[in-house]
A and B are shown apart, each in its own frame.
Chain A
Amino acid sequence: MNDLWSGEPEDEEPALPVPGMGYRKVYVRIDGVSIRLYDHPPCVDYDESDCSQCDFFTPQTCRLRRDPTLVQDIRALFRLHRQRLAVYSKLRQKLIRAMHFELRQHGRALHYTVVARMVKDRYPEFQVTAKRILLIMAAHPKEFEKVRQGVYRSRVSPRS
């Protein structure tokens, strides 16, 4: 990559990369360009890549080319975020199973606020809010059948 490097323009103040991280997105802004977990230059994933094909930076001014440690930092940040996502996803699966179990045990449709109270009491480790319970049930129609607005029941077939 270095043979294409033309050096930093003298009149340009080097801008510090600005990282941001949340549950849903992680990004690093370099020279006004956002590099995201699922949308980033190939050099973040592979040591060898064709910089001329890069959609993000021009090879002549690319800070990732100039500073390989920056690439390492971004990789580490993304790896950390993937781990967080995996943990979060596992926790969410556990929460869905818990909600499902409660609704199956109850055997009747319930308003999401009642399900939330049950889950809060019986599984305090999830620290759920009623709104989150609603969003999860709405997002998993295979598991939760919407009876009417805000009211759901387990869709699992008997004896399964």
Chain B
Amino acid sequence: MYEHLNLNAWPFQVVPDPQFATVWAGRPETKQELERLLWKMQFAPKSSLHLLWANFGMGKTHTLLHLRHLCQHTEGALVPVYAVMAKRARGFLEVYRAIASELPYRFLGDQLVKVGNSYSGSLQLHALFSRSPGVVNAILAIRSGDAERGTIARQWLLGQPGLLARHLRAVDVSYRIKTPEDGISALSVLTGLATFGSDPPAKLVIMLDEYQRIGELKPRAMNEINASLHTYYNEHPKGLELILSFAFGREENVAYLLSDELKSRAEPQGIRLDVLSKAEAMDFLRDLLEQFRIRDDGRWAYPFSPEALEVLVDYIATRKRLTPRRLMLYANHVLQESQACSDSETTGPMTKEEVLQHVADPRLGQIDTDEPGMTP
């Protein structure tokens, strides 16, 4: 709480923070797009594939985290899973691990009970688990509360190497997840389980961040991942929303990282986050500060003066591209410096002269350079 700043929390976050994901500042069109996407995902039962492209530092991860936050408030209609693409994936198994490690196992355990209640025979024989029956025992082991069995079951589900035969016996599974096909089967079963028997029908929303990393992989790995995602997507005509996010300088390059099959299945309208204009930057800061306001005293820019924020935006815009991250970084620096210099009793807003004084440090932003080729 920063009573003297009229802020209930520190508003400037440079690194995406899940707790900060509830906040949305600026970009009203993107907010509208997200809300529309959320509505579409709940409206039609069919599965869909969405692409999110963002320029550098434009808040792609924050957008996904915000979407996850919105999904979490749909009363179970959308089950969000946020995963980050492995840095040096050698195949689909790494992608599977990234997704499987973020699945809500407590919820899946509850779903398993639901399946058990609706089925009289052994759960492993249920049609839902025919492709990977070991998933049942693994989830039961996690649900059992036994730390050792739970850990082994998690390792098994994530397809991690190093499990011995006695480990498999402890969890009561007879095979390992070690090929892309095993991964697809297990993921299909887990997806089916996550969306089982809900009314209205639930959907699993898998958000795969940093998917542009696929562009650094060897063609064999790239093809395997794209083909496996395509197979997985095809196996779920209903109940699955797949969101792939890309961060690089040119939106058209998305086409070079996806297979034709995935491209043909992607929704025609993707979400894009590009460089902010000065007006958008001002709106962003206004929205951001508003969301942390303790009380409305009519001073929207406080602890800055409106002119000070304009000067700050102008200062950045003349040197670099305006990105949410950069705005936060500079505003954070200026506000912290100002607080360090003044006593806490001062209540006047920061003037533009103060801002210029704090940003005048030549070391400021020296290493924060635009990505190559992304000059305005």
Interface residues of A, Cβ cutoff 8 Å to B:
101, 103-111, 113-114, 117-118, 147, 150-151, 153-154, 156-159
Interface of A is mostly: mixed
Q: Known A-B contacts: A106-B373, A157-B369. Give 18 more (CB < 8 A).
A: A103-B373, A104-B249, A105-B374, A106-B253, A107-B56, A107-B373, A108-B216, A108-B248, A108-B371, A111-B216, A111-B217, A114-B256, A147-B216, A154-B373, A156-B372, A158-B371, A159-B370, A159-B375
The answer to whether B99 has its CB under 8 Å from any CB of chain A is no
Query: Which 6 residue pairs across A and B have the least CB separation, nearest first?
Result: A104-B373, A107-B371, A107-B249, A158-B369, A105-B373, A105-B250
Contacts of A157 in B (CB 8 A): 369, 372
In the complex, what's the smallest C-beta–C-beta distance from B226 to chain A, in angstroms? Answer: 12
A-B CB contact pairs (8 Å), 22 listed: A101-B373, A103-B373, A104-B372, A104-B373, A105-B253, A105-B373, A105-B374, A106-B249, A107-B372, A107-B373, A109-B215, A111-B216, A111-B219, A151-B216, A156-B372, A157-B369, A157-B372, A158-B370, A158-B371, A159-B369, A159-B370, A159-B375
Interface residues of B, Cβ cutoff 8 Å to A:
56, 212, 215-219, 222, 247-250, 253, 256-257, 369-375
Contacts of A101 in B (CB 8 A): 373
Contacts of B370 in A (CB 8 A): 158-159
Contacts of A111 in B (CB 8 A): 215-219, 222
| Given A114-B257, A117-B256, A158-B369: A107 touches B216 (CB 8 Å cut-off) | no
A62–B151 alpha-carbon span in the complex (Å): 86
| Given A106-B250, A107-B56, A114-B256: A154 touches B372 (CB 8 Å cut-off) | yes
A89–B219 alpha-carbon span in the complex (Å): 30
Contacts of A117 in B (CB 8 A): 256
* A108 and B256 within 8 A (CB): no
In the complex, what's the smallest C-beta–C-beta distance from A113 to chain B, in angstroms? Answer: 5
* B218 and A158 within 8 A (CB): no
Contacts of B219 in A (CB 8 A): 111, 113
Q: Which of A101, A104, A108, A109: most chain B Cβ within 10 A?
A: A108
Q: Which residue of B lies closest to A150 (CB)?
A: B218
Contacts of B372 in A (CB 8 A): 103-104, 107, 153-154, 156-158
Contacts of B373 in A (CB 8 A): 101, 103-107, 154, 156
In the complex, what's the smallest C-beta–C-beta distance from B38 to chain A, in angstroms? Answer: 29
* A105 and B256 within 8 A (CB): no
Q: Which residue of B lies closest to A130 (CB)?
A: B219
A158–B150 alpha-carbon span in the complex (Å): 49
* B248 and A106 within 8 A (CB): yes
A111–B374 alpha-carbon span in the complex (Å): 20
A151–B213 alpha-carbon span in the complex (Å): 11
A113–B249 alpha-carbon span in the complex (Å): 19
* B374 and A107 within 8 A (CB): yes
Contacts of B247 in A (CB 8 A): 108
